[in-house]
Amino acid sequence: MSALGTASLANAPEVSLRPQIRPQGPREPRATGAQTLIDTAKLGGDVSFAVVDPASGKVLEAMNGARGLPPASVTKALTALYALDVLGGDFRFETRLLATGPVKDGVLDGDLILAGGGDPTLDTDVFGDMVKRLKAAGVNRVTGRLRCWAGAVPFVRAIDPSQPDHVGYNPSISGLNLNFNRVHFEWKRKGQTYDVTMEARTKRYRPAVRAARMDISNRKGPVYVYSDGGDHDQWSVARRALGNGGARWLPVRYPHTYATEVFARLAEVNDISLTAGKPIKSLPDAPMLVSHKSAPLTDILQDMLKFSTNLTAELVGMTASLRRRGRRTGLAVSAREMSTWAQTELGMKNARLADHSGLSDASRLTAVDLAKALARFGKSEMLKPILKPITLRDKNGSPNKGHPIQVAAKTGTLYFVSSLAGYATTPKGKDLAFAIFTANDDLRAKVDSKNDTRPQGSKSWNTRSKRLQQQLIERWSTLYG
Protein backbone atom coordinates (compact mmCIF):
# COMPACT_ATOMS: atom_id res chain seq x y z
CA MET A 1 0.00 0.00 0.00
CA SER A 2 1.19 3.53 -0.76
CA ALA A 3 -0.20 6.92 0.15
CA LEU A 4 -1.17 8.97 -2.90
CA GLY A 5 -0.09 12.59 -2.94
CA THR A 6 2.18 12.39 0.14
CA ALA A 7 4.40 9.43 -0.55
CA SER A 8 7.51 11.53 -0.04
CA LEU A 9 6.57 12.00 3.63
CA ALA A 10 6.02 8.32 4.36
CA ASN A 11 9.60 7.45 5.32
CA ALA A 12 11.10 10.87 6.03
CA PRO A 13 13.86 10.82 8.71
CA GLU A 14 13.09 12.49 12.00
CA VAL A 15 16.32 14.56 11.93
CA SER A 16 18.82 15.59 9.26
CA LEU A 17 21.84 13.34 8.91
CA ARG A 18 24.11 16.41 8.54
CA PRO A 19 23.70 20.19 8.57
CA GLN A 20 22.09 21.56 5.43
CA ILE A 21 21.36 25.03 4.15
CA ARG A 22 17.65 25.68 4.57
CA PRO A 23 15.73 27.61 1.91
CA GLN A 24 14.06 30.81 3.04
CA GLY A 25 10.28 30.87 3.43
CA PRO A 26 7.66 28.81 5.27
CA ARG A 27 8.50 25.23 6.15
CA GLU A 28 6.37 22.31 5.05
CA PRO A 29 4.59 20.97 8.15
CA ARG A 30 5.71 17.63 9.53
CA ALA A 31 3.35 14.72 9.97
CA THR A 32 3.86 11.01 10.54
CA GLY A 33 3.44 9.06 7.33
CA ALA A 34 0.09 7.39 6.79
CA GLN A 35 1.69 3.99 6.17
CA THR A 36 3.65 4.27 9.41
CA LEU A 37 0.42 4.96 11.32
CA ILE A 38 -1.27 1.99 9.68
CA ASP A 39 1.64 -0.35 10.37
CA THR A 40 1.69 0.72 14.02
CA ALA A 41 -2.06 0.03 14.40
CA LYS A 42 -1.50 -3.65 13.46
CA LEU A 43 -5.06 -4.18 12.24
CA GLY A 44 -4.28 -6.56 9.41
CA GLY A 45 -6.83 -6.79 6.64
CA ASP A 46 -7.66 -3.60 4.76
CA VAL A 47 -7.34 0.09 5.53
CA SER A 48 -8.85 2.57 3.10
CA PHE A 49 -9.17 6.32 3.43
CA ALA A 50 -9.64 9.54 1.49
CA VAL A 51 -9.65 13.21 2.48
CA VAL A 52 -11.13 15.87 0.19
CA ASP A 53 -11.14 19.65 0.17
CA PRO A 54 -14.84 20.67 0.06
CA ALA A 55 -13.92 24.08 -1.37
CA SER A 56 -12.29 22.66 -4.49
CA GLY A 57 -13.43 19.05 -4.55
CA LYS A 58 -9.80 17.97 -4.79
CA VAL A 59 -8.69 14.67 -3.26
CA LEU A 60 -5.86 15.71 -0.94
CA GLU A 61 -4.78 12.23 0.04
CA ALA A 62 -6.06 8.68 -0.38
CA MET A 63 -4.94 5.16 0.28
CA ASN A 64 -6.74 2.18 -1.25
CA GLY A 65 -9.43 4.76 -1.90
CA ALA A 66 -11.15 2.72 -4.60
CA ARG A 67 -11.31 -0.43 -2.46
CA GLY A 68 -14.89 -1.38 -1.56
CA LEU A 69 -15.24 -2.19 2.15
CA PRO A 70 -18.17 -2.64 4.58
CA PRO A 71 -19.17 0.84 5.79
CA ALA A 72 -21.16 -0.47 8.80
CA SER A 73 -23.26 2.34 10.32
CA VAL A 74 -21.47 4.99 8.28
CA THR A 75 -24.13 3.91 5.76
CA LYS A 76 -26.58 6.00 7.79
CA ALA A 77 -24.84 9.20 6.70
CA LEU A 78 -25.53 8.29 3.08
CA THR A 79 -29.09 7.28 4.00
CA ALA A 80 -29.60 10.70 5.59
CA LEU A 81 -28.49 12.41 2.37
CA TYR A 82 -30.76 10.13 0.35
CA ALA A 83 -33.80 10.90 2.48
CA LEU A 84 -33.12 14.64 2.57
CA ASP A 85 -32.63 14.77 -1.18
CA VAL A 86 -35.72 12.73 -2.05
CA LEU A 87 -38.17 13.64 0.74
CA GLY A 88 -36.90 17.02 1.96
CA GLY A 89 -36.06 18.07 5.48
CA ASP A 90 -39.64 19.18 6.26
CA PHE A 91 -41.17 15.78 5.47
CA ARG A 92 -43.26 14.30 8.29
CA PHE A 93 -44.59 10.79 8.77
CA GLU A 94 -48.32 10.57 9.50
CA THR A 95 -50.27 8.04 11.58
CA ARG A 96 -54.06 8.23 11.35
CA LEU A 97 -57.23 6.96 12.98
CA LEU A 98 -59.94 6.31 10.41
CA ALA A 99 -63.63 5.46 10.89
CA THR A 100 -65.48 3.10 8.54
CA GLY A 101 -68.84 4.28 9.87
CA PRO A 102 -70.53 7.34 11.39
CA VAL A 103 -70.03 8.62 14.91
CA LYS A 104 -73.26 9.42 16.70
CA ASP A 105 -73.97 9.92 20.40
CA GLY A 106 -70.47 8.72 21.32
CA VAL A 107 -70.69 5.53 19.25
CA LEU A 108 -68.61 4.75 16.16
CA ASP A 109 -70.84 2.40 14.17
CA GLY A 110 -68.09 0.55 12.29
CA ASP A 111 -64.39 -0.24 12.55
CA LEU A 112 -61.69 2.05 13.89
CA ILE A 113 -58.58 1.76 11.72
CA LEU A 114 -55.12 2.51 13.05
CA ALA A 115 -53.29 3.38 9.84
CA GLY A 116 -49.50 3.49 10.03
CA GLY A 117 -47.42 5.68 7.78
CA GLY A 118 -44.02 4.12 8.41
CA ASP A 119 -43.18 6.47 11.29
CA PRO A 120 -40.08 5.13 13.10
CA THR A 121 -40.64 7.39 16.12
CA LEU A 122 -44.07 6.25 17.33
CA ASP A 123 -44.14 5.28 20.98
CA THR A 124 -46.66 4.46 23.67
CA ASP A 125 -46.83 8.11 24.76
CA VAL A 126 -47.92 9.12 21.24
CA PHE A 127 -50.60 6.42 21.29
CA GLY A 128 -51.78 7.77 24.64
CA ASP A 129 -52.17 11.24 23.14
CA MET A 130 -54.02 9.86 20.10
CA VAL A 131 -56.44 7.99 22.37
CA LYS A 132 -57.18 11.17 24.33
CA ARG A 133 -57.84 13.05 21.10
CA LEU A 134 -60.14 10.25 19.96
CA LYS A 135 -62.03 10.63 23.23
CA ALA A 136 -62.20 14.39 22.71
CA ALA A 137 -63.62 13.78 19.23
CA GLY A 138 -66.64 12.16 20.90
CA VAL A 139 -65.86 8.45 20.55
CA ASN A 140 -66.73 6.37 23.61
CA ARG A 141 -67.52 3.04 21.98
CA VAL A 142 -66.70 1.23 18.75
CA THR A 143 -69.25 -1.31 17.53
CA GLY A 144 -66.81 -2.92 15.10
CA ARG A 145 -63.17 -3.75 15.71
CA LEU A 146 -59.90 -1.92 16.10
CA ARG A 147 -57.94 -2.89 13.01
CA CYS A 148 -54.49 -1.83 11.97
CA TRP A 149 -53.09 -1.17 8.52
CA ALA A 150 -49.32 -1.55 8.26
CA GLY A 151 -48.90 -1.56 4.50
CA ALA A 152 -47.05 1.71 4.04
CA VAL A 153 -43.84 -0.34 3.67
CA PRO A 154 -43.48 -4.11 3.15
CA PHE A 155 -43.05 -6.21 6.27
CA VAL A 156 -39.51 -7.40 7.02
CA ARG A 157 -39.16 -9.94 9.82
CA ALA A 158 -35.60 -8.88 10.75
CA ILE A 159 -33.24 -6.33 9.26
CA ASP A 160 -30.40 -8.86 9.17
CA PRO A 161 -31.46 -12.49 9.70
CA SER A 162 -27.87 -13.49 10.52
CA GLN A 163 -27.91 -11.56 13.82
CA PRO A 164 -28.82 -13.14 17.19
CA ASP A 165 -32.58 -13.44 17.71
CA HIS A 166 -32.69 -11.36 20.88
CA VAL A 167 -30.72 -8.20 19.99
CA GLY A 168 -32.93 -5.12 20.13
CA TYR A 169 -31.09 -3.35 17.32
CA ASN A 170 -32.38 -5.91 14.79
CA PRO A 171 -36.20 -5.71 14.98
CA SER A 172 -38.87 -6.21 12.35
CA ILE A 173 -39.80 -3.47 9.89
CA SER A 174 -43.43 -2.55 9.27
CA GLY A 175 -45.64 0.31 8.22
CA LEU A 176 -46.76 0.48 11.85
CA ASN A 177 -43.91 0.52 14.39
CA LEU A 178 -44.08 1.11 18.12
CA ASN A 179 -41.21 1.81 20.53
CA PHE A 180 -38.73 1.01 17.74
CA ASN A 181 -40.41 -2.41 17.61
CA ARG A 182 -38.99 -3.40 20.96
CA VAL A 183 -40.58 -4.70 24.15
CA HIS A 184 -39.23 -4.05 27.65
CA PHE A 185 -38.42 -7.27 29.53
CA GLU A 186 -37.82 -6.87 33.28
CA TRP A 187 -37.27 -9.47 35.99
CA LYS A 188 -37.04 -9.26 39.78
CA ARG A 189 -36.18 -12.07 42.16
CA LYS A 190 -39.02 -13.06 44.47
CA GLY A 191 -37.91 -15.83 46.80
CA GLN A 192 -37.12 -18.87 44.69
CA THR A 193 -38.83 -17.47 41.61
CA TYR A 194 -39.04 -14.23 39.61
CA ASP A 195 -41.59 -11.58 38.80
CA VAL A 196 -41.40 -11.08 35.04
CA THR A 197 -42.97 -8.29 33.00
CA MET A 198 -43.15 -7.63 29.25
CA GLU A 199 -44.22 -4.03 28.69
CA ALA A 200 -44.56 -1.35 26.02
CA ARG A 201 -42.79 1.01 28.40
CA THR A 202 -42.31 4.75 27.89
CA LYS A 203 -42.00 7.74 30.21
CA ARG A 204 -45.74 8.00 30.93
CA TYR A 205 -47.04 4.51 30.29
CA ARG A 206 -46.04 0.91 30.88
CA PRO A 207 -48.86 -1.35 29.64
CA ALA A 208 -48.24 -5.09 29.88
CA VAL A 209 -48.51 -6.96 26.59
CA ARG A 210 -49.29 -10.48 25.41
CA ALA A 211 -47.88 -9.95 21.91
CA ALA A 212 -44.50 -10.86 23.45
CA ARG A 213 -44.28 -13.47 26.24
CA MET A 214 -41.50 -14.83 28.41
CA ASP A 215 -40.94 -18.19 30.12
CA ILE A 216 -38.11 -19.04 32.52
CA SER A 217 -36.19 -22.22 31.69
CA ASN A 218 -33.87 -24.33 33.84
CA ARG A 219 -31.51 -25.00 30.91
CA LYS A 220 -27.82 -24.15 31.12
CA GLY A 221 -27.85 -22.18 27.88
CA PRO A 222 -28.29 -20.35 25.63
CA VAL A 223 -29.55 -17.36 27.61
CA TYR A 224 -32.43 -16.55 25.24
CA VAL A 225 -34.43 -18.79 22.92
CA TYR A 226 -37.04 -17.40 20.53
CA SER A 227 -39.94 -19.25 18.95
CA ASP A 228 -42.79 -18.07 16.75
CA GLY A 229 -46.02 -18.30 18.75
CA GLY A 230 -48.18 -17.97 15.62
CA ASP A 231 -49.63 -14.61 16.65
CA HIS A 232 -47.04 -13.56 19.25
CA ASP A 233 -43.35 -13.69 20.11
CA GLN A 234 -42.56 -16.53 22.52
CA TRP A 235 -39.32 -16.14 24.47
CA SER A 236 -37.61 -18.19 27.13
CA VAL A 237 -34.66 -17.22 29.28
CA ALA A 238 -32.20 -19.37 31.23
CA ARG A 239 -32.85 -18.99 34.95
CA ARG A 240 -29.16 -19.15 35.86
CA ALA A 241 -28.50 -15.96 33.84
CA LEU A 242 -31.03 -13.79 35.68
CA GLY A 243 -29.29 -13.04 38.99
CA ASN A 244 -31.29 -10.84 41.35
CA GLY A 245 -32.92 -8.71 38.70
CA GLY A 246 -32.48 -6.65 35.59
CA ALA A 247 -34.05 -5.46 32.35
CA ARG A 248 -33.40 -5.30 28.63
CA TRP A 249 -35.20 -4.51 25.38
CA LEU A 250 -36.09 -7.40 23.08
CA PRO A 251 -37.06 -7.11 19.41
CA VAL A 252 -40.68 -7.43 18.31
CA ARG A 253 -41.54 -9.72 15.35
CA TYR A 254 -45.29 -9.07 15.37
CA PRO A 255 -45.29 -5.26 15.27
CA HIS A 256 -48.91 -4.92 14.07
CA THR A 257 -50.19 -7.18 16.87
CA TYR A 258 -48.04 -5.33 19.39
CA ALA A 259 -49.27 -1.89 18.29
CA THR A 260 -52.93 -2.91 18.14
CA GLU A 261 -52.83 -4.46 21.62
CA VAL A 262 -51.18 -1.42 23.18
CA PHE A 263 -53.62 1.01 21.55
CA ALA A 264 -56.57 -1.09 22.74
CA ARG A 265 -55.24 -1.14 26.33
CA LEU A 266 -54.82 2.63 26.35
CA ALA A 267 -58.34 3.04 24.96
CA GLU A 268 -59.66 0.89 27.81
CA VAL A 269 -57.87 3.09 30.37
CA ASN A 270 -59.60 6.10 28.81
CA ASP A 271 -63.05 4.46 28.97
CA ILE A 272 -63.34 3.83 25.25
CA SER A 273 -64.98 0.47 24.62
CA LEU A 274 -63.47 -1.40 21.70
CA THR A 275 -62.16 -4.83 20.76
CA ALA A 276 -58.92 -5.49 18.89
CA GLY A 277 -59.38 -7.29 15.58
CA LYS A 278 -57.22 -8.63 12.79
CA PRO A 279 -55.14 -6.31 10.61
CA ILE A 280 -56.36 -5.30 7.15
CA LYS A 281 -54.35 -5.63 3.94
CA SER A 282 -55.87 -2.74 2.01
CA LEU A 283 -56.74 0.72 3.29
CA PRO A 284 -60.35 1.82 2.70
CA ASP A 285 -61.33 5.34 1.73
CA ALA A 286 -62.58 6.37 5.16
CA PRO A 287 -62.83 9.70 6.99
CA MET A 288 -60.05 10.60 9.43
CA LEU A 289 -60.82 11.22 13.09
CA VAL A 290 -57.30 11.80 14.47
CA SER A 291 -53.91 12.41 12.87
CA HIS A 292 -50.45 12.38 14.40
CA LYS A 293 -47.54 13.82 12.47
CA SER A 294 -43.95 13.12 13.38
CA ALA A 295 -41.22 15.67 13.92
CA PRO A 296 -39.62 17.01 10.72
CA LEU A 297 -37.36 14.57 8.91
CA THR A 298 -34.27 16.65 9.72
CA ASP A 299 -34.88 16.15 13.45
CA ILE A 300 -35.53 12.43 12.99
CA LEU A 301 -32.30 12.03 11.03
CA GLN A 302 -30.29 13.91 13.64
CA ASP A 303 -31.46 11.46 16.30
CA MET A 304 -30.82 8.55 13.95
CA LEU A 305 -27.22 9.67 13.42
CA LYS A 306 -26.69 10.36 17.13
CA PHE A 307 -28.07 7.05 18.41
CA SER A 308 -27.39 5.00 15.25
CA THR A 309 -30.95 3.66 15.18
CA ASN A 310 -31.20 0.89 12.60
CA LEU A 311 -35.00 0.83 12.36
CA THR A 312 -35.11 4.57 11.61
CA ALA A 313 -32.51 4.22 8.88
CA GLU A 314 -34.42 1.41 7.16
CA LEU A 315 -37.77 3.20 7.34
CA VAL A 316 -36.56 6.56 6.05
CA GLY A 317 -34.64 4.78 3.29
CA MET A 318 -37.63 2.66 2.24
CA THR A 319 -39.91 5.71 2.35
CA ALA A 320 -37.52 7.61 0.09
CA SER A 321 -37.45 4.69 -2.33
CA LEU A 322 -41.26 4.67 -2.33
CA ARG A 323 -41.20 8.33 -3.36
CA ARG A 324 -38.61 7.70 -6.09
CA ARG A 325 -40.22 4.59 -7.56
CA GLY A 326 -43.85 5.42 -6.95
CA ARG A 327 -44.49 2.01 -5.37
CA ARG A 328 -43.55 0.03 -2.28
CA THR A 329 -40.28 -1.85 -2.35
CA GLY A 330 -38.76 -4.50 -0.11
CA LEU A 331 -35.62 -3.81 1.85
CA ALA A 332 -33.19 -5.33 -0.66
CA VAL A 333 -34.79 -3.54 -3.63
CA SER A 334 -34.87 -0.27 -1.71
CA ALA A 335 -31.17 -0.61 -0.88
CA ARG A 336 -30.44 -1.11 -4.58
CA GLU A 337 -32.52 1.98 -5.35
CA MET A 338 -30.41 4.00 -2.92
CA SER A 339 -27.28 2.56 -4.54
CA THR A 340 -28.56 3.72 -7.94
CA TRP A 341 -29.26 7.16 -6.52
CA ALA A 342 -25.74 7.36 -5.09
CA GLN A 343 -24.26 6.27 -8.42
CA THR A 344 -26.26 8.67 -10.59
CA GLU A 345 -26.70 11.68 -8.30
CA LEU A 346 -23.42 11.61 -6.38
CA GLY A 347 -21.10 9.88 -8.83
CA MET A 348 -20.48 7.04 -6.37
CA LYS A 349 -20.01 4.45 -9.13
CA ASN A 350 -18.89 1.75 -6.72
CA ALA A 351 -21.79 2.02 -4.24
CA ARG A 352 -23.29 -1.41 -3.49
CA LEU A 353 -25.66 -1.37 -0.52
CA ALA A 354 -27.56 -4.26 1.09
CA ASP A 355 -29.58 -2.08 3.50
CA HIS A 356 -29.93 1.50 4.74
CA SER A 357 -28.50 1.01 8.23
CA GLY A 358 -25.18 -0.77 7.64
CA LEU A 359 -26.15 -3.72 9.82
CA SER A 360 -25.35 -6.12 6.98
CA ASP A 361 -21.68 -6.64 6.16
CA ALA A 362 -22.60 -7.28 2.51
CA SER A 363 -22.63 -3.54 1.69
CA ARG A 364 -19.63 -1.98 -0.02
CA LEU A 365 -18.57 1.67 -0.35
CA THR A 366 -15.24 3.19 -1.32
CA ALA A 367 -13.55 5.90 0.71
CA VAL A 368 -12.92 8.16 -2.29
CA ASP A 369 -16.53 7.96 -3.45
CA LEU A 370 -17.91 8.75 -0.01
CA ALA A 371 -15.42 11.53 0.81
CA LYS A 372 -16.19 13.23 -2.51
CA ALA A 373 -19.93 12.97 -1.84
CA LEU A 374 -19.50 14.45 1.63
CA ALA A 375 -17.38 17.24 0.19
CA ARG A 376 -20.10 18.05 -2.32
CA PHE A 377 -22.76 18.33 0.37
CA GLY A 378 -20.34 20.07 2.71
CA LYS A 379 -20.77 23.25 0.68
CA SER A 380 -24.53 23.24 1.23
CA GLU A 381 -24.28 22.38 4.95
CA MET A 382 -27.02 19.78 4.39
CA LEU A 383 -25.48 16.99 6.45
CA LYS A 384 -22.81 18.48 8.70
CA PRO A 385 -25.19 20.24 11.16
CA ILE A 386 -27.00 16.99 11.99
CA LEU A 387 -23.93 14.78 12.37
CA LYS A 388 -22.82 13.88 15.86
CA PRO A 389 -19.83 15.82 17.25
CA ILE A 390 -16.94 13.41 17.81
CA THR A 391 -14.64 14.29 20.71
CA LEU A 392 -11.02 13.47 19.96
CA ARG A 393 -8.79 12.11 22.72
CA ASP A 394 -5.65 13.22 24.48
CA LYS A 395 -2.39 11.26 24.63
CA ASN A 396 -3.71 9.21 27.56
CA GLY A 397 -6.81 8.13 25.62
CA SER A 398 -9.24 10.30 27.57
CA PRO A 399 -11.82 12.48 25.78
CA ASN A 400 -10.42 15.97 25.22
CA LYS A 401 -13.26 18.46 24.82
CA GLY A 402 -10.69 21.18 24.25
CA HIS A 403 -9.05 19.43 21.30
CA PRO A 404 -8.26 22.03 18.61
CA ILE A 405 -9.68 19.87 15.79
CA GLN A 406 -13.48 19.75 15.64
CA VAL A 407 -15.05 16.65 14.08
CA ALA A 408 -18.66 15.98 13.05
CA ALA A 409 -18.99 12.47 11.70
CA LYS A 410 -20.74 9.10 11.70
CA THR A 411 -19.10 6.08 13.24
CA GLY A 412 -19.62 2.50 12.10
CA THR A 413 -18.78 -0.68 13.99
CA LEU A 414 -19.14 -4.39 13.33
CA TYR A 415 -16.86 -7.06 14.71
CA PHE A 416 -13.45 -6.35 13.14
CA VAL A 417 -14.94 -3.51 11.06
CA SER A 418 -14.59 0.12 12.10
CA SER A 419 -15.43 3.15 9.98
CA LEU A 420 -15.60 6.91 10.36
CA ALA A 421 -16.76 9.50 7.84
CA GLY A 422 -17.68 13.15 8.04
CA TYR A 423 -16.05 16.54 8.42
CA ALA A 424 -13.06 17.87 10.33
CA THR A 425 -12.43 21.56 10.99
CA THR A 426 -8.79 22.37 11.64
CA PRO A 427 -7.57 24.91 14.23
CA LYS A 428 -7.24 27.47 11.41
CA GLY A 429 -10.83 26.95 10.31
CA LYS A 430 -10.16 24.78 7.26
CA ASP A 431 -12.90 22.22 6.55
CA LEU A 432 -12.01 18.73 5.34
CA ALA A 433 -14.32 15.92 4.22
CA PHE A 434 -13.04 12.40 4.88
CA ALA A 435 -13.89 8.71 4.98
CA ILE A 436 -11.90 5.98 6.75
CA PHE A 437 -12.71 2.26 6.46
CA THR A 438 -10.92 -0.56 8.26
CA ALA A 439 -11.83 -4.24 8.03
CA ASN A 440 -10.23 -7.60 8.66
CA ASP A 441 -12.08 -10.26 6.68
CA ASP A 442 -9.95 -13.11 8.03
CA LEU A 443 -10.91 -12.32 11.61
CA ARG A 444 -14.56 -11.71 10.67
CA ALA A 445 -14.73 -15.13 9.02
CA LYS A 446 -14.18 -16.71 12.44
CA VAL A 447 -17.08 -14.84 14.07
CA ASP A 448 -20.26 -16.79 14.87
CA SER A 449 -22.86 -14.18 13.93
CA LYS A 450 -25.62 -15.93 15.91
CA ASN A 451 -23.54 -15.86 19.08
CA ASP A 452 -23.94 -12.70 21.14
CA THR A 453 -20.55 -13.17 22.83
CA ARG A 454 -17.90 -10.63 21.86
CA PRO A 455 -15.18 -12.37 19.79
CA GLN A 456 -11.76 -12.54 21.38
CA GLY A 457 -9.58 -9.60 20.38
CA SER A 458 -12.39 -7.56 18.81
CA LYS A 459 -12.41 -4.88 21.53
CA SER A 460 -8.69 -4.15 21.34
CA TRP A 461 -8.84 -4.26 17.52
CA ASN A 462 -11.60 -1.67 17.54
CA THR A 463 -9.66 0.53 19.97
CA ARG A 464 -6.59 0.45 17.72
CA SER A 465 -8.73 1.28 14.68
CA LYS A 466 -10.27 4.30 16.39
CA ARG A 467 -6.82 5.48 17.46
CA LEU A 468 -5.68 5.22 13.84
CA GLN A 469 -8.70 7.22 12.69
CA GLN A 470 -7.81 10.07 15.03
CA GLN A 471 -4.15 9.97 14.02
CA LEU A 472 -5.10 10.25 10.36
CA ILE A 473 -7.36 13.23 11.08
CA GLU A 474 -4.55 14.93 13.03
CA ARG A 475 -2.17 14.20 10.15
CA TRP A 476 -4.50 15.86 7.66
CA SER A 477 -4.97 18.84 9.93
CA THR A 478 -1.20 19.30 10.02
CA LEU A 479 -0.70 18.90 6.28
CA TYR A 480 -3.78 20.58 4.85
CA GLY A 481 -5.18 22.75 7.64
Residue 426 domain flag: yes
Residue 118 domain flag: yes
Percent of the chain with pLDDT over 70: 94
321 and 463 share one domain: yes
Query: CA-based diameter of the chain, in Å?
Result: 99
264 and 328 share one domain: no
Last residue of a domain, one of 293, 313, 330: 293
Under a CB-based contact definition with an 8 Å cutoff, are residues 375 and 54 in contact? yes
Q: How many CB atoms lie within 10 A of CB 281?
A: 8
User: What is the distance between the terminal CA atoms of the chain, rounded to a whole angstrom?
Assistant: 25
Please report, for the domain that includes residue 379, its CATH number. 3.40.710.10
Count structural domains, the chain. 2
277 and 324 share one domain: no
Mean pLDDT calculated for residue range 204-215 = 97
Mean pLDDT calculated for residue range 112-129 = 98
Asked if pLDDT for residue 6 goes beyond 60, the answer is no
> What is the spatial distance between Cα 9 and Cα 329, in angstroms, rounded to a whole number?
49
Q: Domain residues for 195? A: 94-293
Local confidence band at 192 (pLDDT 50, 70, 90 cut-offs): confident
Question: How would DSSP label each residue in 267-281?
Answer: HHHTT-B--B---BS
> What is the spatial distance between Cα 200 and Cα 164, in angstroms, rounded to a whole number?
22
Mean pLDDT calculated for residue range 419-448 = 96
Asked if pLDDT for residue 25 goes beyond 50, the answer is no
Last residue of a domain, one of 234, 263, 293: 293
Which region among 250-254, 434-438, 454-458 has the lowest average model confidence (pLDDT)? 454-458
176 and 315 share one domain: no
Q: In whole numbers, what is the pLDDT of the chain averaged over residues?
A: 92
Local confidence band at 30 (pLDDT 50, 70, 90 cut-offs): confident
Percent of the chain with pLDDT over 90: 89
- Of 421, 341, 353, 414, whose CA–CA distance to 384 is shortest? 421
58 and 128 share one domain: no
316 and 230 share one domain: no
- Of 115, 48, 111, whose CA–CA distance to 371 is shortest? 48
Helices (H) and strands (E) in the chain, counts: 10, 19
Which pLDDT value is given to residue 352?
98
Residue 1 domain flag: no
Last residue of a domain, one of 293, 314, 346: 293
> What is the spatial distance between Cα 349 and Cα 339, in angstroms, rounded to a whole number?
9
DSSP bridge pairs for 224: 237
181 and 247 share one domain: yes
Stated pTM of the model:
0.91
Which region among 116-125, 255-264, 395-404, 457-466 has the lowest average model confidence (pLDDT)? 395-404
pLDDT tens digits for range 319-374: 999 999 999 999 999 999 999 999 999 999 999 999 999 999 999 999 999 999 99
pLDDT tens digits for range 218-235: 998 899 999 999 999 999
> What is the spatial distance between Cα 103 and Cα 82, in angstroms, rounded to a whole number?
42
